[in-house]
Amino acid sequence: MTKLAVVGATGLVGTKILETIDRKNIPFDELVLFSSRRSAGQKVDFQGQTYTVQELTEQATEDHFDVLMSAGGGTSAQFAPLFESNGATVIDNSSQWRMTEDVDLIVPEVNAPTFKRGIIANPNCSTIQSVVPLKPLQEEFGLKRVAYTTYQAVSGSGMKGKQDLENGAKGLSPEAYPHPIYNNVLPHIDVFLEDGYTKEEQKMIDETRKILTEPELNVTATCVRVPVQDSHSVHINVTLDQPTTVKEIQDVLEKDPRVILVDDPENNVYPLAIHSTGRDEVFVGRIRKDDSLDNTFHLWVTSDNLLKGAALNAVQILEQVLKLKGEL
């Protein structure tokens, strides 16, 4: 009997999780929707039924669920271990558990749960779309160095980020960001650390190494918020172990089912955020050689941050879990 719980069901990602469960026909016998006290009592229509959103309490964790949690690190820190102690599998979308040693950090195109614990972490949205094309390159050529520059949509900040962009066009002051995002670019996502990197940048560095199981891989990142509603874009500068060419990289990615190659710059064909939005896939293009470093190449990657970068990846992990349990 499959019992599902969605925590944070009324938020941007929670809503996308429900849409994805429906679209992918994930089977379940019972569904419970949880939220904070503020959103409890809301009605949600789903698959022909009306669900009343419940407040997440300690008592609510005593039932046995497969839990998709998208409610922030503090909520996850408090409630995920309680669900886990009652036999649940928790797929958590916050950053709370990602670098915990015995918690799996999963991108289904790249790795699979080992069930060291009942908590499974969903990676950072930009990390997810980046490691998907890096994995086939790692398998074919090996990786020596990765440098990221991200161009992240405001929906990555939830409803407040989207509101800042909309309100900025009206001349209103920002609430989610320290500066206006409308008609602007912010080289600042999450808090600054002592070394000058932001927490978002450090997440990408640490998570890439963990997901690809290369703890010594040279990785660096600059994460930037741009005035785009949905879909993140990432520039990847990658140095490979084995000599290769642009054509060979294109061939590897074109044949790989994990990505879609969109790379015909002569005809202005390359991945765009507006084409990624609402799509499940990760798109890769603008592949070219970096002549300033040996065996180094540029890639441009776009993906819907609310789908593959969050809700879809979580539901794909749920599919892995259900298959391993023999329930799918």
Find out whether 237 and 289 touch, Cβ atoms under 8 Å: no
Pairing of strands 30-35, 43-46: unpaired
Distance CA 328, CA 326 (A): 6
The token duo for 266 is: 């002569």
Give the H/E segment covering residue 299: strand 296-303
Find out whether 70 and 93 touch, Cβ atoms under 8 Å: yes
* Beta-carbon contacts of residue 185 (< 8 Å; ≥ 6 apart): 224, 225, 226, 227
Active site residues: 125, 232
Distance CA 97, CA 56 (A): 19
DSSP string, 84-105: HHTT-EEEE-SSSSTT-TTSEE
Find out whether 239 and 145 touch, Cβ atoms under 8 Å: yes
Tell me how far the alpha carbon of residue 62 is from its chain's centroid: 28
Distance CA 215, CA 213 (A): 6
